[in-house]
Amino acid sequence: MVTKWQSLTKQKLFLSGKLLALAGEAQTDDSPAQYRACLEGALALTLEGRSLLLTTVAAIYQKKADIITTLSGLTSKVGDDNTDYQDLMQLARRTDSWWSLLSHFEHGSLHPPKEQKSISNDNIIAIAIETAPQLTIESLNAVNQAMSAWLAELCERHSEW
């Protein structure tokens, strides 16, 4: 059962990569709508991959589960006293990890952009620049690669001899 979940997770990440390649082509073709659609589609597939990764962890511990979408959902299935859950929690706490970056992208895709204040000569005091990571082809590719590597390590740790 584990290999089915692992395979499905890999498939989602592979398809996400294909959409990112199409986004790159759309970017060079100067097609902003197609670029954005491919980028958003790739993000959705990567988010599905993250849920399937959590479900893979539950399957490794021989816990039958519907699709798990959060770390708390994983905890309810396998508990919090195992290395895999603790690794994921550590990733979630680190602001520079693939998990945190993906969570940031998810939040950004589900919320409208912040409203910008209008600027007049009377109220110019300082300029604030948003320093949050931006969803780009490169950043999502990096997340996909890191997630794939974590999945490979997970399955290697738990492979049957």
Q: How far apart are CA 140 and CA 146, in angstroms?
A: 10
Average pLDDT of every residue of the chain? 89
**Does residue 126 have a pLDDT over 80?**
no
The pLDDT, as a whole number, for residue 119 is: 59
Per residue in 30-81, pLDDT tens?
889 999 999 999 999 999 999 999 999 999 998 887 899 999 999 999 999 9
**Does residue 129 have a pLDDT over 80?**
no
The pLDDT, as a whole number, for residue 160 is: 64
Q: How far apart are CA 155 and CA 113, in angstroms?
A: 38
Which is more confidently placed, 151 or 2?
151
Measured over the CA atoms of residue 132, residue 136, residue 97 and residue 77, the dihedral's sign is: positive
Tokens of 71: 């770390």
Mean pLDDT for the stretch of residues 128-139: 80
The pLDDT, as a whole number, for residue 86 is: 95
| pLDDT more than 90, % of the chain | 71
Between the alpha carbon of residue 70 and those of residues 26, 93, 101, 139, the distances in Å are 33, 14, 15, 22
- Are 143 and 102 in contact by the 8 Å Cβ rule? The answer is yes
Domain ranges of the chain: 2-112+134-157
The DSSP output letter for 97 is: S
The pLDDT, as a whole number, for residue 75 is: 93
The pLDDT, as a whole number, for residue 64 is: 82
**Does residue 82 have a pLDDT over 60?**
yes
Per residue in 37-47, pLDDT tens?
999 999 999 99
Tokens of 120: 């007049």
User: Where is average pLDDT lowest: 51-65, 73-87, 88-102, 119-133?
Assistant: 119-133
